[in-house]
Amino acid sequence: MKKPTLSLLILAAFITVAIPAQAKELVQKFTGSRSTETAEFEVEAPWLIDWLVNGDYPQMIGVEISLVDARTGVHAGYVLKTKYQSNGLRLFNESGRYRLKVDSTLANWILKVEQLTREEAEQYTPKSESE
């Protein structure tokens, strides 16, 4: 093997090792400005919802988002409830097929459902819960 080719192979090996793989995967993204129920999505634990709420009239907005079991239609938990422009994350440790029920008043919202690895989920878990 020629010396330049060997050098390129060694360099490629170091680059591959040096770049960490990002396993967080976007499962679904929902956006809107009205009340609705989203399409269903399926996730494996752990996963999270990355949310953003804003509006043209910040003093008048309101959003409540609930998790609904897509197979039964049964309420599976609250994601968030706010009357302010804000953003945040909500970590879930239950697998399933879900929908999001969004009740919105004068608010624009973006919801990203993201699949995580266990290692990534530990980064989102408060220290008091993980100990």
62-107 per-position pLDDT tens digit: 999 999 999 999 999 999 999 999 999 999 999 999 999 999 999 9
Hey, how many other C-beta atoms are within 10 angstroms of the C-beta on 38? Answer: 19
The pLDDT value given to residue 20:
44
Per-domain boundaries in the chain: 23-130
Q: Give the dihedral of Cα atoms 53, 54, 57, 63; nearest 10 deg.
A: -10
CATH classification (class only), 23-130: mainly beta
Contact 55, 61 (CB under 8 A): yes
Average pLDDT for the chain: 86
Query: Closest Cα partner for 43 from 20, 19, 22, 25?
Result: 25
Looking at the whole model, is its pTM more than 0.95? no
User: What is the rounded distance in angstroms from the CA atom of residue 3 to the CA atom of residue 13?
Assistant: 15
